[in-house]
Amino acid sequence: MDGWLPPVLLSLRIAVVATAVVFCLGTAAAWAMVKLRWPGKQVLDALFTLPLVVPPTVTGFVLLVLLGRKGPLGRLLGLGGVEILFTWWAGVIASAVVAFPLMYSAARAGLQSVDETLEKAARTLGASEARIFFTVTLPLAWPGLGAGLVLSFARALGEFGATLMVAGNIPGKTQTVPTAIWAAAEAGDMRTAGFLVGIMLVFGFSAAWASRAWSEWRFGKHVQARRG
């Protein structure tokens, strides 16, 4: 079971960075979809949730085309001497893309639950839109945002298909826990594969427990607030 720690640490690092990215982008996208009006919103909404319904290998192939040397993003990055494919940053991008729909959907549900009269009251008191968002909208939508944060982290931590296509499975460089499990099973090292599966089950259980505990805590606070 030698060499199990680097994949675990890399998976955690990728998941943390990817979750931070999707939290910002997913919340911003959800706010724009809920608060702003423009034609074609349904098309954009479907595009935001598309990685949730297509196989990860399809997402990985699209990213491979976009980030490749002949792809539009790959050429642009190549002008600055930056290469993304088969680096841990490629794993971050793949994990962020597949986790984005979970954060976006949870954030949108949370923002839709916010009572607009409270935001209007803040406007009448002279609060700026930025202040309203950070002091009124964001705290009220936090139950949905918190759930999305936990689910996105768990999804990013367990990403395999898209990550394998754009980051590869380079030990010590891009090998995450899911790709390490795949490699160990392919090599017949079932002991290492089983050990890593156990680690992922612990992470998954912890994420599920945290999400449930968060929901129950927020629900209890909401009930207390209504009784008070």
Give the closest residue to 161 by CA, choosing from 213, 98, 112, 109.
Answer: 98
Q: Identify the pLDDT of residue 223.
A: 43
What structural domains and CATH numbers belong to the chain? 5-227 (1.10.3720.10)
Calpha distance 67→220 (Å, rounded): 46
Give the closest residue to 197 by CA, choosing from 214, 183, 217, 215.
Answer: 183
**Distance between terminal CA atoms of the chain?**
55
Q: pLDDT tens, position by position, for the chain (228 residues)?
A: 567 889 999 999 999 999 999 999 999 999 999 988 877 788 888 999 999 899 999 999 999 999 988 889 888 888 888 889 999 999 999 999 999 999 999 999 999 988 889 888 988 988 888 898 888 888 888 888 988 998 899 999 999 999 999 999 999 899 999 999 999 999 999 999 999 999 999 988 887 787 777 666 655 555 454 455
Token pair for 97: 């893309």
Calpha distance 72→78 (Å, rounded): 10
Q: What sign does the CA torsion over 189, 192, 195, 201 have?
A: negative
Give pTM, 2 decimals: 0.87
